[in-house]
Homo-oligomer: A and B are copies of this chain.
């Protein structure tokens, strides 16, 4: 039975932009698992009510229903031990640190840069929900946040220094090969790429070169996705 994944979609069914869902898409590809994705919008809470909560990713695998990208990764490593998402328990523990950094530092910095471009691409029925939740979270109007470009890029560049230093030493966050820490961090870049043509990093930046490696990984899964930038 094929694994099913409820995956956040924009106006078009095929424009998939959630950084959290991309983590799972990459994790499934890492393990060589097939998946059937179901386009889902922010306001379709009823469709995933069976999962007991209102956000994607939601993974359905036979009788198992798992939500939250970190819990899904754990489920996949337990259920399908081939090509583990983390090679050892210590790597998983450190991956949790990188997850919190991604969610508390990187993604908020990326959001400010792309917040208006995401709005533009959303399905009409999601736009009011998105504006209300994001403006409450960020404490300002979406248009005003997007207009503050210099400050947004300064914040992003400051966040990226840690990633840049790390990727100057190794081709992947996980070392010689990508692991789930790469999927987590790259999710933020794919989110931006799918919705926005604003480049987050300059060419020849180690982060840009890693981003290209992640786009090409798994038979170009991320590179082939409908997107606004290369």
Interface residues, chain A, with chain B CB atoms under 8 Å away:
86-98, 100-101, 104-105, 161-163, 165-166, 169-170, 172-176, 179, 181
A89 and B165 contact, Cβ closer than 8 Å, known pairs A94-B98, A97-B98: no
* 24 sample A-B contacts, Cβ–Cβ < 8 Å, listed by A number: A87-B89, A87-B91, A88-B90, A88-B91, A90-B174, A90-B179, A91-B91, A91-B94, A93-B166, A93-B172, A93-B173, A93-B175, A93-B176, A94-B97, A94-B98, A94-B174, A96-B165, A96-B166, A96-B170, A97-B163, A100-B166, A104-B161, A104-B165, A105-B162
Q: Helix, strand, loop or mixed for chain A's interface?
A: helix
Complex contact A169–B90 (CB within 8 A):
no
Partner of A89, one of B92, B97, B169, B176: B176
A162 touches B101 (CB 8 A): yes
Q: How far is the CA of A95 from the CA of B96 in the complex (A)?
A: 12
Q: Which residues of B contact A88 (CB under 8 A)?
A: 87-88, 90-91
Shortest A180–chain B CB gap in Å is: 10
A139, B95: Cα distance in complex, Å: 34
Chain B residues near A181 (CB-CB < 8 A): 90, 94, 97
How many Å lie between the Cα of A89 and that of B178 in the bound state? 12
Q: Do B174 and A96 touch across chains, with their CB atoms under 8 A apart? A: no
Q: How far is the CA of A169 from the CA of B100 in the complex (A)?
A: 11
A65 nearest CB across to chain B (Å): 22
Q: What 9 pairs across the A-B complex have the smallest Cβ distances?
A: A94-B94, A93-B175, A90-B91, A88-B88, A100-B165, A87-B90, A91-B91, A100-B162, A97-B166
Q: With A and B bound together, what is the CA distance between A87 and B175 in angstroms?
A: 13
Q: A88-B90, A94-B95 are in contact. List 16 more A-B contacts (CB 8 A).
A: A86-B90, A87-B89, A87-B91, A89-B175, A90-B91, A90-B179, A91-B93, A93-B176, A94-B181, A96-B166, A96-B169, A97-B181, A100-B162, A100-B166, A101-B101, A104-B162
From A90, A163, A166, A169, residue with most partner B Cβ within 10 Å: A90
Q: How far is the CB of A48 from chain B (nearest CB, A)?
A: 25
**Bound-complex Cα distance A91 to B93 (A):** 8
Taking a contact as CB atoms under 8 Å apart, the answer to whether A90 and B162 are in contact is no
